[in-house]
Amino acid sequence: MQILRFISRKVSYALTADNLNMRGEEGSFVCMSELCGIFVSINRNSMVSDIIKNILVVGAGSFVGGLCRYLVSLAMKSVNKGFPWATLIVNLVGCFLIGLLWGVFSRNGTESSNWALFLTVGLCGGFTTFSTFSKEALLMLQGGNVWGFAGYLAISVVAGIALVALGYFLMR
């Protein structure tokens, strides 16, 4: 990773030089075709390492969120008779939590930070996907897409229940 940063700094420095004959930090000249080859390679490697890092960040958050969901269901096992109280509470808490986090990260301009990924996509996503669904629906409504909002809501709820039933009956 340090090698990539070093090369990236060299390329960035070379890109700010005045001419096609770019001068590196040591005073050596860099050929444009070599520079482009290095730059493409660095971007590809950097992008892959960013994706891997983001996957690990989201995965860690999902682990914590899933664990929290499981602990809530264990804690409410005796109350959960006849109505899915634990699921309802998890979904509502998740919706409120993702709303709080979304507000904080939006206010600070850090929606794409590692913490935002860990807490919203990872933790809230592992805790409940209903929170993400609710946020996306609200975004449509805020954007003035009333028909998209209504369709997303109706399709998600009706089709979701229908597909759960279909899956259940197919595997039963």
Q: What is the mean pLDDT of residues 86-96?
A: 87
pLDDT for residue 143: 92
- Across 98-123, average pLDDT: 89
Average pLDDT over residues 115-128: 92
Distance between CA atoms of residues 109 and 74, nearest Å: 37
In this prediction, residue 169 carries a pLDDT of 81
For residue 122, the Cα-to-chain-centroid distance in whole angstroms is: 7
How far apart CA 89 and CA 131 sit, in angstroms, is 12
Q: How far is it, in rounded angstroms, from Cα 35 to Cα 45?
A: 15
pLDDT single digits (tens) 14-38: 334 433 344 444 444 444 444 444 4
pLDDT at 123 over 90: yes
**Average pLDDT of 93-120?**
89
The token duo for 124 is 């809230």
| Tokens, residue 39 | 């730059």
Q: Say which residue the tokens 């005045």 belong to.
A: 18
CB 47 within 8 A of CB 41: no
Task: For residue 128, give the DSSP letter.
Answer: -
- CA dist 75 and 26 (Å) reads 64
* Alpha-carbon gap, residue 71 to 126, rounded angstroms: 13
Calculate what percentage of the chain has a pLDDT beyond 70. 74
Q: What is the pLDDT of residue 46?
A: 78
**pLDDT at residue 22, as a whole number:** 40
